[in-house]
Structure 1
Amino acid sequence: MEESKVDFAIITAIELERQAVCQAFGIGDQHRIREGDRTYWKIQLDLVERQFYEIVVTQLPDVASIDAALAAQALITTWSPEAVLMVGIAGAAKDKMQLGDLVLGKEVYYYERGKDTLTGRLTEHKQYPADSKLWDRATKMAMEKLASWKLSLPKKPDGTDTYPNKHEGVIASGERVIAHTEIRNEIAAKNRKIDAIEMEGYGVSSAAWKQDRPVRCLVIRAISDRADTQKNDVWQPYAAAVAAEFTKHFLLDRPLPPRNSPHRVPRPQNASVTSPCRLIADDLKSGNLIPFLGPGINSSFYIDLAFDLADLVQDDLVPRNGENNFQNENLIHTLIGIPSPTCHYWPPDESIECPMLKKMAEKKNCPRHIEQGLRLAVSQINLRYISQYYILRNNLESLYDNLYAVLERLDKKHRPSSLHQFLAKLPHLMSVHNYPRRSPGLPFQLIVTTNYDDLLERAFLDAQQPFDVVFYIADGLEKGKFKHKPYQGDVQTIGANDSDRLPLRSPWGHSPHPHPIILKLFGTWKESWENNFVATEQQMAHLISTLEHNLPTSLVTILKKGNILFMGYSPSDSDLQLLMHCFWPANRITGKSWLLHQAKPGDLEQELWKSRNVALLNMASSEDEPSSEDEFVKQLQRTIEARFH
């Protein structure tokens, strides 16, 4: 099998810089290889649509330009990369530069060259420009990638919550470590655009440009000191992380066309992880992901709820005559009438049979996951119709009495799934490995769910993981408002301007002990002293019309700017469509997002979700043998653990 061509080579000068790059890209000892007398680390960075970059990383044997040029030449000879990136830390050339700021080198200026005469030193101007295409891509990165880069960073050494600035200027390169203000200013005076001073960029740039076929090159640095007498190592780890994380997000923005053909489907067996799992794991590591959970993650619970409620209220809704014994489906047909809103056919093709029910009946042609999805979709519709009709015939309180009676039974029957348990245990796992860097132990600030069962909360309690709950009030005196239940605290009403009550990390809040918040958009059944969850179409309509006005603004901001992982929905789920229009009126999510499903979406749905910046990920490996949710959780767990090492 032909070896993959290298797209990018990343060169670092010192071990701290190389470790930061390895951490950002998930590189471990298993990726280390030796070629000749040099050591490299080689990995594939997955992009979109099964594309990838082949990446090689190396560390210089020593600092300064000569070693940098020799190492770059050896790397280019061995791997023939399309581009070379010099990544690491530097000293500030100007007082305006803040520690931790990023500097992209439009040009690398060699300040050592010159002639010493009796009258003084005559400087010989020598510099190399950045590759024009890399420069264009680096200075015009997608906003979502820049935002994701900033959120992936660790805490600053001084404890402040500000993000690093990105500068585009000249980087001075020489043979000396500068720790003197006057010398620094003398170097900076040689070119008014000099922002940073370092020792290896010129050597790497020289090697890249002097090839028979010049290799694209860009120098990426972050400020670790001011190159003055106060120079120390305190900011070096942070600055190294700034440069490394920027480099990763820059490459994820796909600055150059990949040189290799996309991965086949399925990936080769020796591939470490699939692209979606890798991307999702990276978002969890950086704290950027928002799980958004629907009824499909526990479909049997809501199917049982609809059937059990129908059994319970049937006598009140459809009187029985003589020995006629109505079944659940007869009840639904009586309530809905003809045509059903779910029937889709052209008039000339009118059928006497419901196509959905017919498909469910054809077991041999209907995979189990499709059958379960159809049953859930029908159950959701039926639950709303039954609830709405029951209120019209009786009253709201009587409906909830019946619902609570059913839910009490189901609560004893159903247990948290592997997904619930995974989400509950993940904060502790992340904390052990000190991820995310900005707020260790907080892989997600927010989990959104439209489910009103308490299985997720039970999993968090079992894992002894602190969490807050914000839930919707569907009816009663506080209809349309939200309640906040702090961890080990009392329930209280919360409004749009009450974000300071929530355990939010920077930049959304300043809680000393931030922890996950579970947002139950449709309410919860556990606080049974009030009608807390959405059961009817009218309640759903009221929720959509008031949602953004009553939900704390910080939670709305997190949702609108985050990367979303939808789970438990089919692409055609009507509730999800309404929520999309509510939270994202432009019908496009800013951050790269995913919808994990086991359905068979049509061409329309596929194009709609693509336009929304949401990738549809089908868990089914084939039509007859779908991968289960448990398998997805296991795969994601393996991926996350692999990314730690």
Structure 2
Amino acid sequence: MEPLKVLLVEQPGMWQDILKKALDDVQTSLKKIGCPTQIHLVDTANAGWTSITGGKWDLIVTDIGLGEGQQHPGTQLVEEAKTCNVPCIVVTGVAGAEEGWTFATQYGVKRCFDKGSFKSTNFIQAVVQILHERCNGVVNPVDFLIITPMREEFEAFSRLGKMDLKKVDDYQHRGGVKCDNGTNYNIVISCLHLLKREIGQSHAAAATTGWVGQWQPSNLLLVGTAAGAKGKVQLGDILIPATIVDVTSTKIVANGENFTPQMGYPDKELFNKCNPPNWKELIATISRPEKESKIDLHTGGCIISTKSKMQVEDWTTFYKDMCEKLHGLEMEASGVMTALDRIVGKPKPKFMMIRAVSDFGGTNRKAEQEKWEKYACDVAAAYTYAFLKSGPVPALNETQSELTRAD
């Protein structure tokens, strides 16, 4: 077969050496499995532009900070890669800024690595994944991609011990769930904070774009904790909102005026199956901070997706006119929904959010989290497993599912 062609665009110096060494390691690894690769290096943005427009590539690795004062800066290389339908990985020192992540999301960058927290092993894994798919002409899609914002939420799935999870890289695990009806789901669990030590809308949007491109999931679950609306829900309760209210681009004022929110909704097929059997029995095995209290499942109502957890004592007054059944507040759903809205020309994953209440926000938030956060993380993971085990949607590999049922 013809070798896969990788274009590396980076100026001379330490980072060019680091990336070239990593790509050489990729080349050696892929050669062993019959997937030859050629690495082409150019050291200016203009030279990168000439190479992209004049050749056929399987992957482009570039820095969007290149090319100041040049005719074709690094950002244009990413735009041209999208136009040519070539996968692109960005490695940059400016991607930590919100505009960097927004740019990466807009142009469908496969992965975006920050030089400040760069790890060669994760970079190599990403390159191998993309090139292996190009080599075989197919991808290996999963049934469910589960995105967790924080490390504790991510690690809760490992503590659960139900999904036969194997490490993909520092922020992703892959495993499976055998459902009660015999269906087998392939799943990937990813962590936003472990990817880039950040949370929030812009990071969630960029990471979701990359992970959806990497795994091509049929379904996407955003799973973690949330601040609950005091008086309407209790600490530890599970929230499955029927409406997600995105106020990240809205200026919030105390008198409740000037609201221009965007509304998001879960997939109906997933949402209609969100009361699986035996979820209470599974969660009952988790040690609860206050044993006399009971856990409830709240399906419906709304959750606010905002830029930051509010520190005012009664934050619900800020959003009182937005929905009748306000259940909680979180920070990532707006970014995930933004990424899904930008998918054009191919099927979008079905989406639903699962949250467990770890605090009520406000000034007492930290004290509540110290007592309840680990429990809420474990509850969210356990409920998610019970939901998957109920087999809410058909698996990708229906042939394999039929064989499993026959056994």
User: In structure 2, what is the equivalent of residue 565 of structure 1?
Assistant: none
Structure 1 unaligned blocks of 5 or more: 266-274, 276-614, 618-645
Q: Does 1:205 align with 2:337?
A: yes
Q: Does 1:31 align with 2:169?
A: no
User: In structure 2, what is the equivalent of residue 21 of structure 1?
Assistant: 157
User: In structure 2, what is the equivalent of residue 236 of structure 1?
Assistant: 373
User: In structure 2, what is the equivalent of residue 262 of structure 1?
Assistant: 400
Q: CA deviation at 1:55?
A: 0.1
Which of these residues, 148, 152, 157, is aligned with residue 281 of structure 2?
Answer: 148
3-state SS of 1:137 partner = coil
User: In structure 1, what is the equivalent of residue 189 of structure 2?
Assistant: 57
User: In structure 1, what is the equivalent of residue 215 of structure 2?
Assistant: 79
Q: 1:207-249, CA deviations, whole angstroms, 9 ceiling, x for partnerless residues?
A: 2233123221101001111112111222001111111111100
Q: How does 1:354-503 map to 2 (within 5 A)?
A: none
Q: Does 1:125 align with 2:261?
A: yes
Residues 49-58 or 240-249, more deviating: 49-58
User: In structure 2, what is the equivalent of residue 9 of structure 1?
Assistant: 145
Which of these residues, 243, 246, 265, is aligned with residue 383 of structure 2?
Answer: 246
3-state SS of 2:400 partner = coil
Which of these residues, 168, 173, 195, is aligned with residue 41 of structure 1?
Answer: 173
1:47–1:112 Cα change, 3 Å: closer
3-state SS of 2:190 partner = strand
User: In structure 2, what is the equivalent of residue 176 of structure 1?
Assistant: 308
CA distance in 1, matches of 2:186, 2:383: 18
Give the letter aligned to residue 145 of structure 1. N
Give the letter aligned to residue 241 of structure 1. D
CA distance in 1, matches of 2:320, 2:166: 40
1:167–1:228 Cα change, 3 Å: farther
CA distance in 1, matches of 2:208, 2:392: 21
Q: CA deviation at 1:40?
A: 1.6
CA distance in 2, matches of 1:222, 1:192: 20
Q: CA deviation at 1:25?
A: 4.9
Q: Does 1:216 align with 2:350?
A: yes
1:115–1:181 Cα change, 3 Å: closer
Q: CA deviation at 1:121?
A: 5.7
CA distance in 2, matches of 1:93, 1:147: 22
Q: CA deviation at 1:110?
A: 1.2
3-state SS of 1:69 partner = helix
Q: Does the Cα contact within 8 Å between 1:150 and 1:164 map onto a contact in 2?
A: no
1:181–1:190 Cα change, 3 Å: farther
CA distance in 2, matches of 1:208, 1:20: 25
CA distance in 2, matches of 1:115, 1:189: 15
Give the letter aligned to residue 282 of structure 2. W
1:245–1:189 Cα change, 3 Å: same
Q: Does the Cα contact within 8 Å between 2:232 and 2:327 map onto a contact in 1?
A: no
Give the letter aligned to residue 32 of structure 1. K
Q: 1:466-504, CA deviations, whole angstroms, 9 ceiling, x for partnerless residues?
A: xxxxxxxxxxxxxxxxxxxxxxxxxxxxxxxxxxxxxxx
Give the letter aligned to residue 259 of structure 1. L
Give the letter aligned to residue 181 of structure 1. E
Q: CA deviation at 1:163?
A: 3.2
**Shift >4 Å, 4+ stretches:** 1-4
Q: CA deviation at 1:3?
A: 6.8
Q: 1:136-169, CA deviations, whole angstroms, 9 ceiling, x for partnerless residues?
A: 1114x3xx333433334x1211232633343422
| Greater relative contact order (CA < 8 Å, ≥ 6 in sequence) | 2
CA distance in 2, matches of 1:7, 1:88: 19
1:254–1:264 Cα change, 3 Å: closer
3-state SS of 1:124 partner = coil
Percent identity of paired positions between Structure 1 and Structure 2 = 23
Q: CA deviation at 1:4?
A: 4.8
Q: Does the Cα contact within 8 Å between 2:252 and 2:318 map onto a contact in 1?
A: no
User: In structure 2, what is the equivalent of residue 460 of structure 1?
Assistant: none
Q: CA deviation at 1:178?
A: 1.8
CA distance in 2, matches of 1:215, 1:76: 8
Q: Does the Cα contact within 8 Å between 1:93 and 1:184 map onto a contact in 2?
A: yes
1:189–1:24 Cα change, 3 Å: farther
CA distance in 2, matches of 1:159, 1:242: 14
1:3–1:47 Cα change, 3 Å: farther
3-state SS of 1:97 partner = coil
User: In structure 2, what is the equivalent of residue 138 of structure 1?
Assistant: 274
Q: How does 1:563-574 map to 2 (within 5 A)?
A: none
3-state SS of 1:262 partner = helix
CA distance in 2, matches of 1:25, 1:90: 23
3-state SS of 1:11 partner = strand
Q: CA deviation at 1:95?
A: 1.8
TM-score by length of 1: 0.37
1:49–1:244 Cα change, 3 Å: closer
CA distance in 2, matches of 1:101, 1:263: 33
Q: Does the Cα contact within 8 Å between 2:313 and 2:362 map onto a contact in 1?
A: yes
Q: Does the Cα contact within 8 Å between 1:102 and 1:220 map onto a contact in 2?
A: yes
Q: CA deviation at 1:84?
A: 0.6
1:182–1:135 Cα change, 3 Å: same
Q: How does 1:262-341 map to 2 (within 5 A)?
A: 262=400
3-state SS of 1:76 partner = helix
Give the letter aligned to residue 124 of structure 1. T
Give the letter aligned to residue 239 of structure 1. A
CA distance in 1, matches of 2:225, 2:265: 19
Q: How does 1:596-635 map to 2 (within 5 A)?
A: none
CA distance in 2, matches of 1:250, 1:74: 25
User: In structure 1, what is the equivalent of residue 106 of structure 2?
Assistant: none
User: In structure 2, what is the equivalent of residue 195 of structure 1?
Assistant: 327
Count of residues in Structure 1 that have an aligned counterpart in Structure 2? 260
CA distance in 1, matches of 2:365, 2:382: 24
Q: How does 1:532-543 map to 2 (within 5 A)?
A: none
User: In structure 2, what is the equivalent of residue 162 of structure 1?
Assistant: 294
1:147–1:92 Cα change, 3 Å: closer
Q: 1:94-147, CA deviations, whole angstroms, 9 ceiling, x for partnerless residues?
A: 422110011002111012333689x996221211111111111114x3xx3334
CA distance in 1, matches of 2:324, 2:313: 16
CA distance in 1, matches of 2:264, 2:402: 40
User: In structure 2, what is the equivalent of residue 378 of structure 1?
Assistant: none
CA distance in 2, matches of 1:167, 1:264: 31
3-state SS of 1:236 partner = helix
Aligned Cα root-mean-square deviation (Å):
2.9
Larger gyration radius, structure 1 or structure 2: 1
Q: CA deviation at 1:79?
A: 0.6
Q: Does 1:102 align with 2:231?
A: no
CA distance in 2, matches of 1:185, 1:66: 26
Structure 2 unaligned blocks of 5 or more: 1-135
